[in-house]
Amino acid sequence: MLFDEPDFQETIASVLVPVAVPRAYTYKVPPGKTVVPGTIVRVPLGPREVIGAVWDGEPDAAINPAKLKSITHVYETTPPLDDDLRRFVDWVANWTLGAPGMVLRMVLRSEEALEPEAPVPGVRRIEDAQPDRMTSARHRVMETMEDGFAWTRSGLAHAAGVSSSVIDGLIKQNVLEVVSMPASPPPPKPQLDYAQKDLTPAQQAASEGLVESFKKGASVTLIDGVTGSGKTEVYFEAIAEALRRDRQALVLLPEIALTEQFLRRFEQRFGVFPAEWHSEITPKNRSRVWRGVASGDVRVVIGARSSLFLPFRELGLIIVDEEHDAAFKQDDRVPYSARDMAVVRGHISGFPVVLASATPSVESHVNAELGRYGLYELPHRASGADLPELNAIDMRNEGPERGRWLAPSLVHAIKDTFAAGEQSLLFLNRRGYAPLTLCRTCGHRFQCAHCSAWLVEHRFQKKLVCHHCGHTEPVPQACPSCQSTNSLVACGPGVERIAEEVSDLFPQARTLILSSDLPGGPERLKREMKTVEEGGADIIIGTQLVAKGHNFPKLKLVGVVDADLGLAHGDPRAAEKTFQLLAQVTGRAGRVTGGGKGFLQTYNADHPVIRALLSSDRNAFYKAETDARRAAGLPPFGRLAAVVVSGPDKIFAENYARALARAVPADEAVTLLGPAEAALALVRGRHRYRLLVMAPRQFDLQSYLRHWLGSGPKPTKGLRVQVDIDPQHFM
């Protein structure tokens, strides 16, 4: 070893950088700095500087040291990413066939969090000092400062009920001194026994089981409980147990619009609000949560799927609520399922993972049935209310007149509900006014210029919108093809059109559209959710957003405008998804007081999904779906990967997809389907072709795909190849 010689004291390290390259790069460590695997650093990369992390594995000692660049900054106050998190990043990259650096990028999402927060000025009492003259305002300040802690000037003025000039006066007299204090004090800790509900016997058994499961290390438990059965209260007890064991807990939720109500419920149980993590939080809060999670000051996070990549110091529990929800799947960049990766994270670190749903995914249902997952069932509502009574409306002979979308029997039921002072919800999973606009004179249809999709009319915004790329154009005065005026007709309904019909039918009712695309964003949505919750609306028209876990206590009637909508796709998951969506949305009715009713408008009253919903025979549905999947070798009995080739030139993309298919390594276990033009053949100006790889469950699909894509023809000329393991949709 030559390390004692001063000339050779320079060391090198592997650094993973947040770009799509297959492995870590080698950098020099600046003299006097020490780094360990996980240390967060800044390094030069081409013309720019990026944030990365020192990674495991030997640096490449064969590189000429003269050619190596040096780490430019070491973030010394941020704890290194721990072993488990680094293993998790590598695992996710390996599983998704993504670049580890791109997975790491999801961890290092808050650059600002890497520097300590700047202190803010505050004031503190100087011991024994007294003002020359005591006024009642000064007295209140002195009283407020009794405990000797530092305060911000404005905080103190507010708490003591004085103007800030009073405080300035006391500083001048050397009664108070100006100090610097941390910008945000650590958040208060959840109180384990703040307010526990009396659990029903089924809830009690489930919560005891979860508490018990901590002794086993890694485990997965499914809470399969009907809508309103009190699953949240059950997993709150698991959170309490994690906290009791000095571990942090993470709750993954599919939708931010839900978090508002959830935060309040958490506060009722634990006396404090949990930290939130999702795309809508401010950069400042984002850094605070990141830092707090890393330091251990933050004990419970509730967040969207990306919170799985937070650098928890001592994570000991993950809850995935509404585990069946497709929002847990990220489709772009690194396509991953947050539910499945939560299970992996729990496995790596040896802690329990809890999945909760009223309509579990077929995968989780099978895993529970086979005993791979623990299972607790909550077959009744916690309030004792009965489940809603469901009816089909056969649109072939009970449908509405032309140009109307609500059948007479549904209108009748809404009328009764409204007369009784109760809420109705009309569900249609289609934003906007009409999904298609055409010209009556020449038949011209409005299509997106960049996608193979119709433009959707949004009447409130007076625009035609592409729901795939966001392209918008004003609704024209005349047909662009034949120049006729007043010739455009809207075909089919979206929520806005249903709202119009409702206003016609019930002019006295307070109606509200809940749809994610209305102006005002998430803030408005949260407000409106609350309005509904408090009974401030009579008839609600909503998209799938309303199907997600929200609790509307006054809701009695749910009408599904088009129950067949999701069944039309040739998608292997269409039946499962439709079943889940419709069971969830109708399950919103009568959650607290019972007496809920649901109506499904359908042209396929005999479809197995509709029949299973009507007979409330969930098990029949799961059994039929499981048998069908087993017979077809579909997940969870087989494995799937989608390979999507896209490019600006159609012929070129198609030829490349064909060449790729020809290069597929022969293996009798593997079936390759395609290439076929994707259902969404053109998106944002890119032509898309799909290949689908099917293999048995035990097959090492990742190695196979890696070998295939590594040895096959390379994409050129703007072509892109995206691999999606366990695809959730097939567009």
Structure tokens at 281: 């939080």
Residues pairing with 376 in the sheet? 223
Q: Does position 198 bind ligand ADP by CB under 6 A?
A: yes
**Residue whose C-alpha is closest to residue 508's, from 427, 418, 422:** 418
User: What is the x/- site pattern for Zn ion, positions 470-489, by CB under 5 A?
Assistant: -x-------x-xx-------
Considering the complex, state which of residue 227 and residue 437 has its C-beta at the smaller distance from ligand ADP.
Answer: 227
693 touches 660 (CB < 8 A): no
725 touches 93 (CB < 8 A): no
| Residue choice 252, 308, 382, 583 for contact with ligand ADP (CB under 6 A) | 382
For residues 529 and 388, what is the distance between their CA atoms, to the nearest angstrom? Answer: 21
Considering the complex, state which of residue 483 and residue 671 has its C-beta at the smaller distance from Zn ion.
Answer: 483
Which residue's Cβ lies closest to ligand ADP? 230
647 touches 653 (CB < 8 A): yes
Considering the complex, state which of residue 448 and residue 545 has its C-beta at the smaller distance from Zn ion.
Answer: 448
Structure tokens at 465: 């919108």
Residue type, 246: D
Site residues for Zn ion, 389-448, by CB under 5 A, read 439, 441-442, 444, 448
Structure tokens at 63: 């590189």
Contact range with Zn ion by CB under 5 A, out of 29-37, 359-367, 458-466, 580-588: 458-466
Q: What is the 3-state secondary structure (H, E, C) of 389-453?
A: EEEEEEHHHHCCCCCCCCCHHHHHHHHHHHHCCCEEEEECCCCCCECEEEECCCCCECECCCCCC
Q: Does position 459 bind Zn ion by CB under 5 A?
A: no
Q: What is the crossing angle of helices 338-349 and 83-96, to 10°?
A: 140
Residue 448 binding result from ligand ADP, Zn ion, none, given CB thresholds of 5 to 8 Å by partner type? Zn ion
CB 421, min distance to ligand ADP, A: 20
Q: Is 551 exposed, middle or buried (0-12, 13-18, 19+ CB in 10 A)?
A: middle
Question: Is 133 strand, coil or helix?
Answer: coil
Considering the complex, state which of residue 245 and residue 440 has its C-beta at the smaller distance from Zn ion.
Answer: 440
| Residue choice 42, 450, 569, 607 for contact with Zn ion (CB under 5 A) | 450
Residue 230 binding result from ligand ADP, Zn ion, none, given CB thresholds of 5 to 8 Å by partner type? ligand ADP
User: What is the x/- site pattern for ligand ADP, positions 508-547, by CB under 6 A?
Assistant: ----------------------------------------
For residues 52 and 461, what is the distance between their CA atoms, to the nearest angstrom? Answer: 43
Residue 482 binding result from Zn ion, ligand ADP, none, given CB thresholds of 5 to 8 Å by partner type? Zn ion
Q: Does position 469 bind Zn ion by CB under 5 A?
A: yes
Residue 611 binding result from ligand ADP, Zn ion, none, given CB thresholds of 5 to 8 Å by partner type? none
DSSP string computed for 232-278 = HHHHHHHHHHHHHTT-EEEEE-S-GGGHHHHHHHHHHHHSSPPEEES
Q: Does position 229 bind ligand ADP by CB under 6 A?
A: yes
Number of residues that bind ligand ADP (CB under 6 A): 16
| Residue choice 86, 125, 231, 556 for contact with ligand ADP (CB under 6 A) | 231
For residues 341 and 252, what is the distance between their CA atoms, to the nearest angstrom? Answer: 12
| Residue choice 225, 274, 435, 636 for contact with ligand ADP (CB under 6 A) | 225
Residues in the chain: 731
Please give the distance of CA 694 from its chain centroid, rounded to a whole number.
27
Considering the complex, state which of residue 122 and residue 230 has its C-beta at the smaller distance from ligand ADP.
Answer: 230
| Residue choice 551, 616, 626, 702 for contact with ligand ADP (CB under 6 A) | 551
CB 576, min distance to ligand ADP, A: 19
* Contacts for 264 with CB less than 8 Å, ≥ 6 apart: none
Q: Does position 472 bind ligand ADP by CB under 6 A?
A: no
Interface residue list for Zn ion (CB under 5 A): 439, 441-442, 444, 448, 450-451, 466, 468-469, 471, 479, 481-482
Interface residue list for ligand ADP (CB under 6 A): 197-200, 203, 225, 227-233, 382-383, 551
